[in-house]
Amino acid sequence: MREKRISVVDLARMKTEGEKIAVLTAYDATFARVLETAGVEVLLVGDSLGMVVQGQATTLPVSVDDMVYHTAAVVRGSRRALVVADMPFLSCATPAMALEAAGRLMQRGGAQMVKLEGGRRRLEVVEALVAEGIPVCGHLGLLPQSVHKLGGYRVQGRGAEEAGRLVADAEALQAAGADMLVLECVPSALAERVSRALRIPVIGIGAGVGCDGQVLVLYDMLGMGPENPPRFIEDFLVGQGSVAAAVKQYVREVKAGRFPGPEHGFE
């Protein structure tokens, strides 16, 4: 009999019960199997694949076709994890475009949720997807698809004004029906404030231990990331004999609230 996949209802229950959610990116069937066997609950098919798989300079060149291809591989390789597919650059410019792209990610790719970057400017899109029964994960803080507008990969949400905007964006996404939120590279205190304020699970990357779960790019947490990795990355392969052991260690550290430590966060 087929194993039942983790659902958004399970993730909401984990938040209520205070169980941290372990998330990693995955781009192929073999890693998907290894990651979920090691206890990862959510597999994010991130558009980071543009950089770490395709060798692009940014995530911008990633297409919906690319995302469908990798999502389908991750779904074939997993049985229990919830699979989230990123909506690539410009695929959410209008509700109609978003419905078309999300439809392909779910029907052809087999994703159970889609993730999109942006806050209040995305409300119409989020509402259109939710109205069709599509679970949505928001993404706030550092938005890699806006790297040229941001002028680089920098910490976001510093200062009262920016922090207030981020909190308002998070609350608006939840009100529009989002089921999960990723916060990337924001001060730890702000991420904790957002996590406490929202009903839906908040997953952090470079956002401190106060979030409801953590995500890292798979290759980064296996020590294959950039030469000078940002401070929120830890190489979990160090001291472990295999990829499976490294991922189990990551899951243990996330669940116990030991990762990320204060040294991985931003003020």
DSSP type of residue 145: G
| Exposure on the CB side of residue 134, measured as CA atoms within 13 A | 30
Token pair recorded at residue 96? 């109609």
Query: Of 182, 183, 247, 251, which one interacts with ligand KIV (CB under 6 A)?
Result: 182
Would you count residue 185 as binding ligand KIV (CB under 6 A)?
A: no
CB of 2 to ligand KIV, least distance (A): 27
Q: Using CB under 6 A, which of the segments 27-35, 46-54, 221-229, 236-244 binds ligand KIV? A: 46-54
CA-CA distances (angstroms) from residue 246 to 22, 27, 36, 38, 169?
13, 18, 13, 9, 35
Counted residue by residue, the chain has a size of 267
Per-residue x/- track, 132-171, ligand KIV (CB under 6 A): ----------------------------------------
Among 72, 75, 105, 215, binds ligand KIV (CB under 6 A): 215
Terminal Cα-to-Cα distance of the chain (whole angstroms): 48
User: Could you say whether residue 205 binds ligand KIV (CB under 6 A)?
Assistant: yes
Question: Quick one: 47 or 234, whose CB is closer to ligand KIV?
Answer: 47
The residues, any chain, with a CB within 8 Å of residue 34's CB and separated by 6 or more, are 243, 244, 247
171 as an active site residue: the answer is no
Q: How far is the CB of 62 from ligand KIV (least distance, A)?
A: 9
Site size toward ligand KIV (CB under 6 A) is 11
Q: Which stretch binds ligand KIV (CB under 6 A): 11-19, 39-47, 76-84, 233-241?
A: 39-47
Q: In this chain, which stretch among 30-38, 44-52, 65-73, 105-113 interacts with ligand KIV, using CB under 6 A?
A: 44-52
Strands (E), the chain: 21-25, 42-45, 82-86, 113-117, 136-141, 180-184, 202-205, 213-216
Rounded CA-CA distance 12/260 in Å is: 21
Among 8, 35, 38, 47, binds ligand KIV (CB under 6 A): 47
Q: Specify burial of residue 42 (Cβ count, 10 A radius: 0-12, 13-18, 19+).
A: buried
Backbone φ, ψ for residue 37 (5° rounding): -65, -30
Q: Which is nearer to ligand KIV, 161 or 219 (CB)?
A: 219
Q: What is the pattern of x (binds ligand KIV, CB under 6 A) and - over residues 83-122? A: ---x------------------------------------
CA dist 244 and 267 (Å) reads 32
Nearer to ligand KIV, 41 or 47 (CB): 47
Which two three-digit tokens encode residue 47? Answer: 């558009």
Considering 36, 41, 117, 184, which one is annotated as catalytic? 184
Catalog residues that contact ligand KIV under the rule CB under 6 A: 25, 44, 46-48, 86, 182, 184, 205, 215, 217
**Catalytically annotated residues:** 184
